[in-house]
Structure 1
Amino acid sequence: MTVSNPAQNILQYESTIWSTADLLRGCGIKESEWPSYMMPFFALVMIESRLIRMLDELKAELGEDAFNESEAEERIQLIEDEGQGYNVYIFEKDQTLKDICQNDKSFDVDFDAYLNGFDGETKALLGVEAYEGEKFLDIKGVIAKLKAKKVLFSYVKEWSSIDLKPFNNSDITTLEEHIKRRWADISADTAGEQYTPDDVIALIAEIIASKIEDSDRLLKIYDCTCGGGNLLFGVEDRIKAKVNRMTQTFGQDWNDALYALAKIESRFRVDSKIEHGNTLTDDKFYNDEFDVVIANPPYGVDWKGFYPDIKNDKTQRFQYLPSVSDGQLLFMQHLISKMNATGMGVVVHNGSTLFSGDAGSGESNIRKWMLDNDIVEAVIQLPTDEFFNTGIYTYLWVLNQNKPAARKDRVMLINASEKFKPLKKNKGSKRKEVDEASRLEIVDTLEKWVDNDYARVFDKEFFYFNKQAIMLTNVDEQGRTFADRLKEGQKSLKLNPVKLDNGERTLTEFTMLSPPDPELEEGIDKEKALGIYHELDIKPFISSLDYKEQRLVVITEKAQYSFDAEQETLIKEGLGKREALGCGKIVVKSSFKKGTKTKAERIEITVELTADYQKDYEIIPYRRDPEENQAAIEAFMSKYITKPFEYLENVVGVEINFNKVFYKPEQLRSVEEILDEISTLDKELKELEQSLSL
């Protein structure tokens, strides 16, 4: 294996590679489009440098004689067995991209032959022959655009001067991460498309490494939204640097170009498998389980386009479905399903996965399912301004299928929002980084598992709550309710009104016998005129009757009924007597009735007096023991609910609220301090007035 020359810093090429965009800028290509032009050529020079290095290593190992023409077939087989790719120009003609760019006259033909000289998989990943369907890096499309702008030769020549051969795989991966980060700065259209910063990758790796022991057992690491592979491969490299373990990486991504970059990178790593496709609908590793799962799935990206596939999924990955507007918790459930019996994971999410959704919602039920099954070990709040294109808080969910006995049914919250160093120079929205000292402190806190000023351990039930539904019976000023007037089993008292009066209009006829005059109402069918006309006329009037907002009087043959808004009670008046019936409602309804043999078409109006019921919800702390929980609910009701009520359903919800746990009220200044400041300001104003009057 080639060792990097310490005198040469791989990151010196970052500015060189980025300078290729100067030519793109010069021919009017928008900055947001630069990544699509740069990605295929960056991949091209990465592949070429590694193939040249492989060739040099094989020559050193086997000798020059093994590469003469007579040994061509064996040589080709030997190289193909390496599984890192093949190119006719490099291995058979001993020519590189730089050689091809020496002659601008034959460049077009030679460059086309050079690209077609790659093996089939490399050509597919680069998009050399793509006509329909998956184009991956789409180098063919980029070439066509550059030709149209007459800058293809100049652009390729710029890239051909970049020589990465002296650097090993780890060095090139480091450079690739820096380049992809800068692409993320300018190409991410939404905050949901996140490139994971190096410092967050390092923190994730530190957490995982702290839980892994040296062993000869293979460590399988999986990222279900691996993108270009920076998180997956970055965690692998850092774990191997800290723990003596053989590793194998697995990743899947749906983005064509990022998948291609990750796939190319994987070919130069030992035992790495990267697949293309939508993890949620087409799990390429459906039969596999892993020791470590990691991911930084997209935030706030809807999944309604494949809702039927998710809803009908047969893998039993998805216990509950979150809102279609955000699929983060779908990825979370998928990752949990991929963990083996002793597996662990670290997943990056935004804050919505902690608290979105009410009790009984998909989001709340997913959180409850995770805590019920004791999978969550900790949640870590990271600083704001940590990512390149969003300033929001982000969170690391630490998952563990095999928690130590002391951590069973407990969860640690770590508020690491102040554990950072400001960057000397901002990188997009990224203004902070979790520096090494902070990372080690966070991991140490997680390992010690004791409370401190920024971390607390809770029984998991701390995050549960009862959402108890009740049906309140409203009462008037005297504590009376119309429900007391009703017989057992009776829900309302039906009235037979002869008149309804709301002060603006009265309605006295409940069976209308006269259809409208056809001469006045043109186009009305005489047979249907009666019902339709009066339905259109009466229904809006009925729906506008409001016994609370305006005075409504219901007059029957024996009495009249109304609602006294001041006393919040129904009033019955008749025979010179005024009686308060208790808090209740006047319900007026109208309906169209078809004609029968004995009755004509008509509008029927009904009036009922009912109790005033109101459905309400109370949020009550949860207790693990069912009897204790019910006792706590009853104690809460006894203390805070004064109206008559009935219990309805109780739904247990789960939310994780960092603000509630770590809230620090602002320290108010003393009255003396404020008065002293006012006195000082008053003195300064007087002195200023005196100076102005001179």
Structure 2
Amino acid sequence: MNENNKFDVVGTNIAEKATMIWNVADMLRGPFKPHEYGLIILPMTVVKRFHDCLLSTHKAVLEKYEEVKKFAVIDGFLTTASQYQFYNISKYTFDSLLADPENIEANFRDYLNGFSANVQDVLSKFDFDNIIRRMVESNTLYLVIKEFNSQKGYLGPDKISAVDCGYIFEDLVKRFSESFGEEAGAHFTSRDIIYLMTDLLLSDADLSKGGNVTVYDMAMGTSQMLSCMEERIQELNTEIGVTCFGQEFNPSTFAIAKADMMIRGGDPNNMRFGDTLSEDQFSGYQFQYIISNPPFGIDWKREKAAVEAEAKKGDLGRFAPGLPKISDGQQLFVLNGLSKLAPNGKMAIIQNGSPLFSGDAGSGPSEIRRYILENDWLDAIVQLGTDMFMNTGISTYIWICSKDKPLHRTGKVQLIDASHCYEARRKSIGTKRNDITDQCRDLIVKAYGAFENDAVYGDKEGIYCQSKIFDTEEFGYQKIVVEQPHRDENGEIVIKKGKPVADISLRDTENVPLTEDIKEYFKREVLPYAPEAWIDEKKTKKGYEIPMTRYFYEYQAPEPVEEIAVRLHELELEIQSSLDTLFGGE
């Protein structure tokens, strides 16, 4: 079965399972408002997944607990017995809870308290204690547990794989977000985009030697980028160990990410809660791969004090090169990623268009671009088509940054226009109307690997992408300030301290490409039109921008006037014919 068919089948099956779980909300109507359903369904889904995973080893865990309960440290014994990174020492299961409806609250709390500390951390992020109280008050706790214990609520690993469970979590978070009126796409990225990112990251990787690799997502949502990256790496070599790390600021999605990691057998301590910009949970860490879709178009006012304090640390902090405008913090995530990228590391990060060109020479955004380009860390940028994400229809870009470029890519940047490389969906999800299919992904990855200038992959009449190669310095320029003399009432040049005084009203600026000599440019482009002008060299600043749209612009000749006239005449005849038909009977 090819990737697309596999994706469709999985997607259908998981959507059905998620729908059945979400339908538990039917019994919540009245005591709970629609936007509150997820407050119950999300944590209950996590608890039931834990329950069903532990069911087969429940007896062994209880026996082991009786043996070791007086020991100072018991976690290792119990996780070995449970065969997971978590365990539960309560005597209850969902079956025995339902057998005693009169004591459902006390027994359910006993069951939850029996979980290991890492599960307690997950449940605390859901504020589950308060939710249980409300279910008790509305007489819905027993009914909800009963529904989750039915066949349709079964989430055991023999029926639902770890990957499939991740899909279920994603689907439920999306439904919860929509019921809340939130933008669902703020919490996760669709799989077609993630698989493109993973394949770009791994296209030139040598994973034949085995060993262990580290992967980090600084805005992990429900952690599906991490699980996809792990899946892709192990498809290439099952002998490779993959250690995932992630940080997330949204409590419920963090809880799901941590639960997902525990269920997949990873280290749940690597899933950390907090604001990445102001509460970095991985200071001093370095990672081989970074994959992330951080928020863009979001201000960083809340983090302003912490970010500015870190910027003052200079090279000891993450934000030394510069700070973007307060209304858009996405470049701060790029700097965070670069600060954690290992010497052989590679990062794929999604951004909108503003980091390509916003900010004048010397501004924070331009200085960040300068920092990346002058260190030769920008490997490639892939422009995606519009309507690719669930919460925005705008054009987006995947930046590929590498601290260990191969020799043939050194000093170069590859730009790939993949805005025509998609297929329309039969049914849109939010604003996501287009997909990157297998064929599309293969074209883009092929273009990236071939590293050819002015090359087209695919059919320009249909699905295709285009590659261009540039020297890094081609994105740079020197912004010069051009002055002209001020004249007095008699038209004479005003002189002060032996030099002409500048007329501020005539002041102008020019952007001189780094590839050109300033004096030659000035002589050619300015002096013929302003022979008395000069450059104020103290004000010269270096800037960088990546005008991607301009590089891929193709002139489209306008329709000939004669053809337009013929078309207008035909329209006039049609309109007249319609009017004659309408009023002909009068």
- Residues 185, 389 of structure 1: 8 Å contact kept: no
Structure 1 equivalent of residue 3 of structure 2: none
2:140 pairs with 1:156: no
CA distance in 1, matches of 2:107, 2:189: 39
- Residues 214, 244 of structure 2: 8 Å contact kept: yes
CA distance in 2, matches of 1:221, 1:68: 34
CA distance in 1, matches of 2:482, 2:132: 67
CA distance in 2, matches of 1:629, 1:37: 65
CA distance in 2, matches of 1:483, 1:159: 90
CA distance in 2, matches of 1:491, 1:329: 43
- Residues 224, 252 of structure 1: 8 Å contact kept: yes
Select which of 331, 340, 343 maps to 1:341: 343
2:541 pairs with 1:651: yes
Deviation at residue 268 of structure 1 after TM alignment: 3.0
Deviation at residue 621 of structure 1 after TM alignment: 4.1
After superposition, residues 545-564 of structure 1 pair within 5 angstroms as none
Query: Any idea what SS the aligned residue of 1:297 has?
Result: coil
Distance 1:402 1:611, change over 3 A: closer
After superposition, residues 561-580 of structure 1 pair within 5 angstroms as none
Task: Report % sequence identity.
Answer: 28
Distance 1:78 1:461, change over 3 A: same
CA distance in 2, matches of 1:291, 1:368: 23
Structure 2 equivalent of residue 674 of structure 1: 564
Distance 1:369 1:641, change over 3 A: farther
Structure 1 equivalent of residue 162 of structure 2: 169
Q: TM-score, normalised by structure 1?
A: 0.72
After superposition, residues 63-462 of structure 1 pair within 5 angstroms as 67=63, 78-81=77-80, 82=83, 84-89=85-90, 93=91, 95-127=92-124, 136-161=125-150, 162-165=153-156, 166=158, 167-187=160-180, 189=182, 193-213=186-206, 214-244=208-238, 245-272=240-267, 273-313=270-310, 314=313, 315-318=316-319, 319-450=321-452, 451-453=454-456, 454-462=466-474
CA distance in 1, matches of 2:502, 2:168: 73
After superposition, residues 525-674 of structure 1 pair within 5 angstroms as 612-614=503-505, 616-624=507-515, 628-641=517-530, 644-648=533-537, 649-674=539-564
CA distance in 2, matches of 1:269, 1:611: 69
Distance 1:677 1:321, change over 3 A: closer
CA distance in 1, matches of 2:225, 2:280: 19
Query: Any idea what SS the aligned residue of 2:155 has?
Result: coil
Structure 1 equivalent of residue 460 of structure 2: none
Distance 1:26 1:660, change over 3 A: farther
CA distance in 1, matches of 2:385, 2:176: 22
Query: Which stretch of structure 1 is more off in the superposition, 355-364 or 457-466?
Result: 457-466
CA distance in 1, matches of 2:177, 2:510: 42
Higher helix share: 2
CA distance in 2, matches of 1:306, 1:312: 10
Query: Which stretch of structure 1 is more off in the superposition, 347-356 or 145-154?
Result: 145-154
Select which of 449, 465, 470 maps to 2:477: 465
- Residues 35, 183 of structure 1: 8 Å contact kept: yes
Query: Any idea what SS the aligned residue of 1:411 has?
Result: strand
CA distance in 1, matches of 2:101, 2:338: 55
Distance 1:225 1:682, change over 3 A: closer
- Which residue identity does 1:21 align to in structure 2? A
Deviation at residue 419 of structure 1 after TM alignment: 1.4
CA distance in 1, matches of 2:65, 2:404: 58
Deviation at residue 87 of structure 1 after TM alignment: 1.5
- Residues 65, 89 of structure 2: 8 Å contact kept: no
- Which residue identity does 1:459 align to in structure 2? D
**CA deviation digits over 1:508-548, x for unaligned, max 9?**
xxxxxxxxxxxxxxxxxxxxxxxxxxxxxxxxxxxxxxxxx
Distance 1:69 1:433, change over 3 A: closer
Query: Any idea what SS the aligned residue of 1:164 has?
Result: coil
Deviation at residue 188 of structure 1 after TM alignment: 6.8
Structure 2 equivalent of residue 38 of structure 1: 41
Query: Any idea what SS the aligned residue of 1:638 has?
Result: coil
Distance 1:348 1:678, change over 3 A: closer
**CA deviation digits over 1:189-209, x for unaligned, max 9?**
469934211111111111122
**CA deviation digits over 1:407-428, x for unaligned, max 9?**
1121111121221122222212
Deviation at residue 117 of structure 1 after TM alignment: 1.8
CA distance in 1, matches of 2:334, 2:511: 28
CA RMSD for the aligned pairs?
3.1
Select which of 32, 43, 54 maps to 1:51: 54
Distance 1:68 1:197, change over 3 A: closer
Distance 1:440 1:54, change over 3 A: farther
Distance 1:665 1:55, change over 3 A: farther
Task: Could you tell me which runs of 5 or more consecutive residues in structure 1 were left unpaired when the two chains were aligned.
Answer: 1-5, 60-65, 128-135, 493-609
Task: Could you tell me which runs of 5 or more consecutive residues in structure 2 were left unpaired when the two chains were aligned.
Answer: 1-9, 457-465
Q: TM-score, normalised by structure 2?
A: 0.84
Distance 1:164 1:370, change over 3 A: same
Distance 1:11 1:308, change over 3 A: closer
CA distance in 2, matches of 1:638, 1:681: 53
**CA deviation digits over 1:649-672, x for unaligned, max 9?**
122222222321222344422223
- Residues 470, 647 of structure 1: 8 Å contact kept: yes
CA distance in 1, matches of 2:78, 2:22: 32
Query: Any idea what SS the aligned residue of 1:366 has?
Result: helix
Deviation at residue 229 of structure 1 after TM alignment: 0.9
**CA deviation digits over 1:158-205, x for unaligned, max 9?**
223211112332332233233334444444746993421111111111
Distance 1:334 1:682, change over 3 A: closer
Distance 1:107 1:460, change over 3 A: same
Distance 1:307 1:103, change over 3 A: same
CA distance in 2, matches of 1:76, 1:265: 19
Select which of 485, 492, 501 maps to 1:484: 492
Deviation at residue 25 of structure 1 after TM alignment: 4.4
Deviation at residue 378 of structure 1 after TM alignment: 0.8
Deviation at residue 76 of structure 1 after TM alignment: 7.8
CA distance in 2, matches of 1:68, 1:643: 91
Deviation at residue 108 of structure 1 after TM alignment: 1.8
CA distance in 2, matches of 1:195, 1:183: 13
Select which of 10, 17, 32 maps to 1:13: 17
Query: Any idea what SS the aligned residue of 1:390 has?
Result: coil
- Residues 348, 395 of structure 1: 8 Å contact kept: yes
CA distance in 2, matches of 1:644, 1:191: 56
Query: Which stretch of structure 1 is more off in the superposition, 71-80 or 293-302?
Result: 71-80
